Chain A
Amino acid sequence: MPVRDSTVALPATAARRRARWTLVGSYAVLILLLVSLNFLLPRALPGEPIAALGDPRSELYVGDDSRRAAVQRYYGLDQPVGEQYGRYLAGLVRGDLGTSIRFNAPVSEVIGSRLPWTLLLLGVALVVATAAGVLGGVHSAWRRGRRADRRLLTLFLAIDNLPVFFLASLAVYVLAVKLGWFPLSGARTPFSQSWGPLRQGADVAHHLVLPAGALALQLVGFQYLVMRAAMVTELGSDHLLLGRAKGLSERVLKYRYAARNALLPSVTVFALQLGFAVTAAIFVETVFAYPGLGSLMIESVGERDYPLMQGCFLVLTVLVVGANLLAELAYRRLDPRMAA
């Protein structure tokens, strides 16, 4: 099968290794830019947002003395900007993201306790959306131009344009409130920690269905369109014609010959979608009061807890950028043509 040959990784030549390091380098620059932006924005934007936290006349004033002192120590506004930047970077390297005003605890700890929920939500939704999108795309392309294809195309176009916060609220009202099939909000039943592991797992899964489902619906359209397009291009290829001439079954032709080759762009889409998925997850977590990083960021915006808000921003963006880098490295391994 021709697929085999193209997936075998060629021995890394000097040129390919250099290309890989250029890639890693450009992502490192991007992360440094994000880190710097996170430093500059609260200091450069009009209204001097963080200076207001220590200004008794401002509505942002932090009343509690020890918390205000912690915030001011973290931002270090009385020092020269260069010094502030140096201390900020040194703190980041140690994992110090400052102290949350609202929780009066290190930002890194607060984020650490919420991050697993976001990863669970994103992981499940992305896997479900990719599987459904790829299968739908394969099916649609195989019967392109016919009724099934047109129906799927219209359906996915319409789903793609549903605002995710409305979709999520619709799911809560119909499936949780009216039908009572799923819990309204949260990630687990309160005080369920004493339950056995099996019952706890089922509880978490039960709470996950609606948020992950809403998120997956938002992601599935793009994956479907890309798979459909790649599959349609694959349909006219020679090896498919040969397979057909050999009398292979439709099933083998469809999945082993055409779909396998058409899968490659889906890897890119998976990475591209991560950024989009994080955006959608912020909405979904807010509607379901799901205790992840997205709802934490929105809570910190409402509470004017700037250190926590900035910590969420940094972790969410670096997460996506890092995953993008991994996906691009994986893509180069899968498709040696890209490495040149």
Chain B
Amino acid sequence: MSERRDPFLWVGGGIVVSLAAVAILAPALAPFDPRAATGPSLASPSAQHLLGTNDAGQDIFSQLVWGTRSSAVVGLLAASLAVAVGTLVGTTAATLGGRVDLFAMRVVDLFLAVPALPLLILIAALAGPTRATVIFVIALAGWPGIARVVRSRALTLARSGYVEAARGFGAPRTYVIARHALPALGPIITANFVIWAGTAIVLQAGLAFLGLSDPTEVSWGAVLNRALGSPSVYVTSQWLWWVLPAGLAITVAAIGLAFLGVALEPRSNPRWERT
């Protein structure tokens, strides 16, 4: 890894590790049950309620802490699903070539030409915005781009000297995949996974902000949805502790994962291909 990209790695990695720690330690870090009314309605920040309470008397700080866990789960699962499908389609298209490749890439193009959010809203609204639906629709938006990148990388790889040499020696396809294809594709798959985890977190928050989330789920987006639906949020200073921290949490998570993704992304550096 070149030194120029190190800041991205440290900043991004630091943010991601901290957020993961908050997600894991949520029960210990949150002072209150995020769903219970533990204070007066719409209280200002105090020693007891660090970020005040919402209109239902729930502790906002505790909601943000638990919201980290919700974001982490959705980000991980949605990105895993998108990367799994994208990698499968991309590598299959590149390996089989011909009509399969043509067909797969047509489907990818179709998906990329359709604006994502209206489709996600339609499915989530009709199927009911449970956590499973939300993860599914986010993965649905993510796989085509990943398939395209993985395919083009796999195609370059198939034409490279050492893979052709291995094939020339009569190496079976499974050997080529295990020994050469997966290690060479690894970095780009990892980078895409990280980048999509960030996109998934923003999308989940966005859907929840629009009101498309499980009403029982505590998440950053749900905090925003409730806050911006409250008539007093702009008129008083509530915005500062109700909207700003939740918005910053989403932003920091997005920037952290994007930076880490940039740091992990393989550039046109030949050393990356030799492992």
Interface residues of A (CB under 8 A from B): 26-27, 30, 33-34, 38, 41-42, 45-47, 49, 157-158, 160-163, 165-166, 169-170, 172-173, 177, 184, 272, 274-276, 278-279, 282-283, 286-287, 297-298, 301-302, 306, 309-310, 312-313, 316-317, 320-321, 324
Contacts and interface: CB of A to CB of B under 8 A. Distances in A.
B155 to A, nearest CB: 20
Interface string B110-131: 1011111111011101111000
A161 B258 contact: yes
Contacts of B115: 274-276, 278-279, 316-317, 320
Contact of A165 (B106, B113, B206): B206
Contact of B212 (A34, A283, A301): A301
Interface string B221-249: 00010001000001100010001100110
Given A283-B206, A324-B113, A297 B128 contact: no
Contact of A282 (B118, B248, B251): B118
27 contacts: A30-B110, A30-B113, A41-B126, A45-B127, A158-B255, A160-B258, A161-B198, A161-B258, A163-B247, A165-B206, A165-B209, A166-B251, A169-B243, A173-B234, A177-B234, A177-B239, A275-B112, A278-B115, A278-B118, A279-B118, A306-B126, A309-B121, A309-B122, A317-B115, A317-B118, A317-B119, A321-B113
B126 A45 contact: yes
Contact of A173 (B206, B239, B255, B262): B239
A298 B210 contact: yes
B93 interface: no
B246 to A, nearest CB: 8
Given A163-B202, A166-B247, A301 B254 contact: no
Contacts of B113: 27, 30, 275, 320-321, 324
Contacts of B224: 165-166, 169
Contacts of B22: none
Contacts of B258: 157, 160-161
A166 B250 contact: yes
Given A283-B210, A286-B210, A41 B122 contact: yes
Interface of B: 106, 110, 112-119, 121-123, 125-128, 198, 202, 205-206, 209-212, 224, 228, 234-235, 239, 243-244, 247-248, 250-251, 254-255, 258, 262
Nearest to B109: A26
Nearest to B110: A30
A317 B110 CA distance: 12
A38 B118 CA distance: 11
A46 B127 CA distance: 6
B206 A301 contact: no
Given A45-B126, A163-B202, A297 B118 contact: yes
A313 B123 CA distance: 11
B247 A170 contact: yes
B119 A313 contact: yes
A313 B110 CA distance: 16
Contact of B126 (A49, A158, A276, A282): A49
A34 B128 contact: no
Contacts of A166: 224, 243, 247-248, 250-251
Nearest to A302: B211
Contacts of A49: 126-127
A129 to B, nearest CB: 16
Of all A-B residue pairs in the complex, the 6 with the closest CB atoms, nearest first, are A166-B247, A275-B115, A279-B117, A278-B115, A49-B126, A45-B127
A45 B123 contact: yes
B117 A278 contact: yes
B210 A47 contact: no
A90 B113 CA distance: 25
Given A282-B117, A282-B118, A282-B210, 18 more contacts: A45-B123, A46-B128, A162-B254, A163-B205, A169-B247, A172-B234, A177-B234, A275-B115, A276-B116, A283-B210, A298-B121, A298-B211, A310-B122, A313-B118, A313-B122, A317-B118, A317-B119, A320-B114
Given A49-B126, A165-B209, A309-B125, A275 B202 contact: no
A298 B244 CA distance: 23
Contacts of A275: 112-116
Contacts of B262: 157
Contact of A33 (B110, B209, B210, B251): B110
Nearest to A38: B122
